[in-house]
A and B are shown apart, each in its own frame.
Chain A
Amino acid sequence: MSTFVEKLRQYSKPGYYDEFDYHWTMTIDLDRCTGCEACVVACQAENNLPIVGEERFAQSREIKWIRIERYWEGEYPNIKMGFIPMLCQHCDDAPCETACPVYATYHNQDGLNTQIYNRCIGTRTCAVYCPYEVRYFNWFTYTWDEPLEQQLNPDVSVREKGVMEKCTFCIQRIRIAKDNAKDDDRRRVRDGEVVPACVQSCPTEAMLFGNSKDPEAKVSKMMKNTRGYTVLEELNTTPSIVYLKKVHA
C-alpha cells in the first residue's frame, strides 16, 4: 500500500520521474555556421526524407528535418546575413507532446522528444503547437524512383501519408551506440560516440552533440559558454539545443 502511495506521489510531480543516464543535447555555434546546408543534405540521406519535387516545394510542403533559416540585419549596403540551423529543439517542456491525443509523441528517458509514426493519426496539432515549426507532415505518400530506393537507410522507417515526422537526433545511431556500450559492459556511451548525421557532416564543426548529464562531455562545457542562448526562451519550452551567438567584429 505504501509503495502504491509513493508511486502516486512520484507520478504527481511534474518533470522526470527518475534519474536517467542521458540527456541528449546539441550546441550550435552560429559564429561558425556558414549556411552551407551540408547538414540538410546529410539529414535527408540519413533519415529517408522524401524529395517532394519542385511543385510541392513551391507549395511549401517540403520535408526538411533541419533547415537553415536566413536572416538579414541592417539596410543595404550595410547589410549582414545570419544563419540559424533550425531543427527539433527536443524541448523538455514540449508543447507538442501534450497536444497529441494518441501519445504519438512523448518524451523518452534520454530527454528525446520522440515521434512514433505508427501511432500517429494525423491531427497535426503538434505542428500547430510547435513554436519552432520543425514538424513536417506527410501530405502524400512519397516514393523513390529506381534505383534511388536502394539508398534508403535500412535503420530508419519510411513514412506513409498522413503521418507527422521530425528530427529524432538520429535515434537509430543513439540506439546502436547504446547497444555497443552494453556489449562492452559500459554503463554509458562514451562522449563523441554518438554523432547525428548533421553534426557529422558539418564542415566547420559548428555543431556539437553529446550527453549533458555527463559533466565531462564537450557539449556540457560548450553549453556554459557565455554566448549561449536558447531560441524563444520566453515561451518556457526549455529546449535541448543551445545556440551560441554570433559575435560581430
Chain B
Amino acid sequence: MAILGSFAFEEDFLGAARKLKSSGFDKLSLLSPLPLEEAQEIMGLEKSPVRHFSLAGAIFGAIAGFAMAVATSLVFILPTGGRAIITVPPFLIITYEMTILFGVLFTLLGFHFVSGLPAWRDKPYLTSAGIDRFVVIVEGAAADQVARAEAIIRDAGADEIRHVEEDQ
C-alpha cells in the first residue's frame, strides 16, 4: 500500500516530508517538478557517489588513452618525421581526450547506477508532479500506520490524497 499526497505549495510539501521522516516513515519518495535542495536534505542526500564514477572514468581513460597510443604504435613500427616511435607530447593529447571521453561515459554509467534509472516498471506517480504539484509518497507502511501517515499528510495541507496498490 502506497499513500500519495499531492501539495500545491513547496513549504507544505517540505513540512509534510519532514514530519513523516521524523515519525519513522523511511520509505519516502519526494516528487517535485524541479530540483529542491531542501527535499534532498530531508532524504539525507549529501555527496553523490556519482563523483567516484567520474574519477574512476577519468583515470581509466587517461591510462587507456596513453596505453592505446603507445601499444598501437608498437604493433607496427613505422617511423615518421624523424620522431621517436613512442612520442610522448602528441600522445598526451590523445590521453587528454580519452580522459574526458571515459570520464563522461563513466559519469553516465554512474548516473544510471545511482539513480536506479532506467526504471520502466509502473511506480506510484502523479502526472501533475511533472507540472506544478509536489508529491509525497509513503511506501511500505504497515496497515496500522497508514492512517497516521495520511493524517500527517492531510494536516500539512495536501490537496489530494490517494492510495495506490504496490506491485510486488
Contacts and interface: CB of A to CB of B under 8 A. Distances in A.
When A and B assemble into the complex, do they touch directly, with CB atoms less than 8 Å apart?
Answer: yes
B54 to A, nearest CB: 30
Interface in B64-96: 73-74, 76-86, 88
A164 interface: no
Contact of A92 (B78, B82, B84, B86): B82
A95 B81 contact: yes
Interface string A96-140: 111010010111000000000000000000000000000000000
A91 B82 CA distance: 9
Contacts of B76: 103
Contacts of B88: 12
Given A103-B78, A106-B78, A14 B83 contact: yes
Contacts of A103: 76, 78, 80
A11 B78 CA distance: 11
B86 A107 contact: no
Nearest to A236: B82
B86 A12 contact: yes
A107 B85 CA distance: 12
A144 B85 CA distance: 41
Contacts of B73: 11
A25 to B, nearest CB: 16
B82 A238 contact: yes
B81 to A, nearest CB: 4
B82 A94 contact: yes
B85 A12 contact: yes
A13 B79 contact: no
A31 interface: no
Contacts of A106: 78-80
B30 to A, nearest CB: 51
A95 B82 CA distance: 9
Interface in A60-118: 91-98, 100, 103, 105-107
Interface in B140-154: none
B86 A11 contact: yes
A98 B80 contact: yes
B85 A11 contact: yes
A140 B76 CA distance: 31
A92 B80 CA distance: 9
Contacts of A57: none
B164 to A, nearest CB: 58
A17 B84 CA distance: 8
A11 B80 contact: no
B83 A98 contact: yes
B136 to A, nearest CB: 57
B84 A12 contact: yes
A17 B81 contact: no
Nearest to A13: B84
A238 B82 CA distance: 10
B116 to A, nearest CB: 42
A249 interface: no
29 contacts: A8-B86, A11-B73, A11-B74, A11-B84, A11-B85, A12-B84, A12-B85, A12-B88, A14-B82, A15-B82, A15-B84, A16-B79, A17-B79, A17-B85, A91-B82, A92-B82, A93-B81, A93-B82, A94-B82, A96-B81, A97-B81, A98-B80, A98-B81, A98-B83, A100-B80, A103-B76, A106-B80, A107-B80, A238-B82
Interface of B: 73-74, 76-86, 88
The 8 closest A-B pairs by CB, nearest first: A93-B82, A97-B80, A11-B85, A98-B81, A97-B81, A106-B78, A14-B84, A107-B79
